[in-house]
């Protein structure tokens, strides 16, 4: 049987993790995979997470199954953080715990496939390299349109507007809620308002991927576009990840929320989400969601988490400022948000930056700004200049 398989290349982004570890040079900078790093270059377990783990160790008395929806208290406690306090939004939403944001995207894709297999997914490029494969694996047609011009670092709003205007009612629009991966280019609130108008006018369904809340400008600010879009439309999907803002990467903690027109449709969506989860992973892993729930149930741990997340956000924005200050051509990095910015460069140049300078970034030219120290700015700029990128 397996002789029929074709070998597939390793995911190039994830391959960077191993390549960086294997590099024996002491002077090397990891701007690769999207994990937060502190001033010592570590990706620490957050203090609130440690406290919650300690609490769980002492108090958790069973590991029995929770069901395909996972930890529903975790799902509920995240809701005000994502959607605000509006009771209307609460009544129009259902959620289910998923293995990470990727699990939420996959489950959402399968829900769309079940509800409306003819729906196309509109995806602005560049995007997270796993977006198109996830939707494609759920047998949905993906229609890509250019979203950003990397040379000018500007949003191609006209291209997006044309793509949305020519879509069919019921088609799905993938939107990065904040901290766009890979470009760091977020829409202005005015652009978000125009997007909301396009969604409503053409009866399109937003699928918001919110994987970096709190790492752009803060929890509230980063949620504002999602809340505004949900006010405007009557149906939506939201894939949420706690990987980055709780530093729980390998625990795989996320949730899929669906907003529907009425309680009848909400109930149908909920039962389908549970059934689809059951055939995919049966039940999501518990530990990460239990940590998040514990933090959100406890005022002291919550305050600790919020303070540490703010520190992380400030550090990333500080790194952005250092790099922008080191080269006028990189001034755009200061106004971009989240872990990433994406330089216009070829795969070959990215390979040269690794080989000659020990600077690891994705083949696409995406840099994880959390991976540097402010003192690295000079070396990064010098390497970019030496290879003709600036
Ligand atoms: C990234 O974009 O680097 C992260 O989201 C990790 C991943 O799974 O690709």
Could you tell me if 289 and 333 lie in one domain? Answer: no
Respond yes or no: is residue 28 known to be catalytic: no
How many angstroms separate the alpha carbon of residue 308 from the centre of ligand 1?
21
**Ligand 1 atom closest to Cα of residue 249:** 6
- Which residue ranges have their beta carbon within 6 Å of ligand 1? 13, 33-34, 128, 130, 181
Could you tell me if 116 and 214 lie in one domain? Answer: yes
The reply to whether 372 falls in a domain is: yes
The reply to whether 173 falls in a domain is: yes
At 247, list the tokens.
């530093």
Could you tell me if 129 and 25 lie in one domain? Answer: no
Could you tell me if 226 and 262 lie in one domain? Answer: yes
The reply to whether 54 falls in a domain is: no
pLDDT score, position 264: 95
pLDDT score, position 90: 74
Euclidean distance between CA atoms 127 and 370, whole angstroms = 19
Pocket test for ligand 1, best of 15, 130, 244 (most atoms within 8 A of CB): 130
pLDDT beneath 70, residues of the chain: 87-89
CATH of the domain at 94: 3.40.640.10
The reply to whether 3 falls in a domain is: no
Could you tell me if 92 and 188 lie in one domain? Answer: yes
pLDDT score, position 85: 85
pLDDT score, position 16: 93
pLDDT score, position 319: 97
Could you tell me if 244 and 318 lie in one domain? Answer: no
Respond yes or no: is residue 120 known to be catalytic: no
How many angstroms separate the alpha carbon of residue 299 from the centre of ligand 1?
30
Could you tell me if 194 and 255 lie in one domain? Answer: yes
Respond yes or no: is residue 38 known to be catalytic: no
Helices (H) and strands (E) counted in the chain, each on its own, are 15, 13
How many angstroms separate the alpha carbon of residue 244 from the centre of ligand 1?
10
Number of domains in the chain: 2
Strand, coil or helix: 333 = helix
**Of all protein residues, whose CA lies closest to atom 5 belonging to ligand 1?**
34
Pocket test for ligand 1, best of 10, 11, 13, 243 (most atoms within 8 A of CB): 13
Could you tell me if 319 and 291 lie in one domain? Answer: no
Could you tell me if 111 and 250 lie in one domain? Answer: yes
What is the full DSSP assignment across 211-270? --TTSSS-HHHHHHHHHHHHHH-S-EEEEEE-TTTTT-GGG--EEEEEE-SSHHHHHHHH
**Of all protein residues, whose CA lies closest to atom 2 belonging to ligand 1?**
34
Question: Which residue is it, tokens 């009848």?
Answer: 264
Could you tell me if 260 and 346 lie in one domain? Answer: no
Euclidean distance between CA atoms 59 and 45, whole angstroms = 20
Per DSSP, 173 falls in state E
Residue 327 half-sphere exposure toward CB, CA atoms < 13 A: 19
Q: Identify the domain containing residue 94 by its residue range.
A: 65-297
């Amino acid at each position: 049987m397996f002789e029929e398989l074709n070998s597939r290349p390793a995911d190039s982004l994830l391959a960077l993790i191993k390549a960086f570890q294997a590099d024996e040079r002491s002077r090397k900078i990891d701007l690769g995979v999207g994990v937060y790093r502190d001033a010592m270059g570590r990706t620490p377990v957050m203090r609130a997470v440690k406290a919650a783990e300690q609490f769980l160790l002492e108090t958790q008395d069973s590991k029995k199954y929770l069901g395909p929806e996972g930890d529903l208290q975790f799902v509920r406690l995240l809701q005000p953080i994502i959607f605000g306090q509006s009771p209307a939004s609460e009544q129009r939403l259902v959620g289910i715990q998923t293995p990470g944001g990727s699990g939420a995207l996959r489950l959402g894709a399968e829900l769309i496939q079940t509800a409306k297999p003819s729906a196309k997914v509109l995806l602005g490029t560049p995007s997270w390299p796993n977006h198109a494969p996830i939707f494609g694996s759920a047998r949905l047609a993906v229609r890509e349109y250019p979203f950003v011009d990397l040379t000018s670092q500007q949003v191609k709003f006209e291209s997006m507007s044309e793509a949305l205007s020519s879509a069919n009612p019921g088609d799905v629009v993938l939107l990065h809620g904040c901290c766009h991966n890979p470009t760091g280019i977020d829409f202005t609130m005015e652009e978000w308002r125009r997007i909301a108008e396009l969604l409503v006018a053409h009866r399109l369904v937003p699928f918001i991927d919110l994987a970096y809340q709190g790492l752009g400008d803060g929890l509230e600010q980063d949620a504002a576009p999602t809340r505004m879009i949900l006010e405007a439309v009557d149906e939506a999907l939201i894939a949420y990840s706690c990987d980055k803002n709780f530093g729980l990467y390998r625990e795989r903690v996320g949730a899929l929320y669906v907003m529907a027109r009425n309680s009848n449709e909400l109930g149908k969506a909920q039962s389908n989400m549970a059934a689809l989860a059951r055939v995919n992973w049966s039940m999501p892993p518990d530990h990460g969601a239990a940590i998040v729930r514990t933090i959100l149930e406890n005022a002291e741990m919550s305050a600790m988490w919020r303070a540490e997340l703010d520190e992380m956000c400030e550090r990333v924005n500080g790194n952005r400022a250092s790099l922008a200050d080191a080269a006028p051509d990189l001034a755009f990095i200061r106004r971009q948000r989240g872990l990433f910015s994406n330089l216009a460069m070829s795969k070959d140049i990215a390979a040269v930056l690794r080989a000659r300078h020990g600077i690891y970034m994705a083949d696409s030219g995406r840099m994880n700004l959390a991976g540097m120290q402010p003192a690295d700015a000079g070396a990064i700029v010098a390497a970019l200049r030496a290879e003709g990128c600036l």
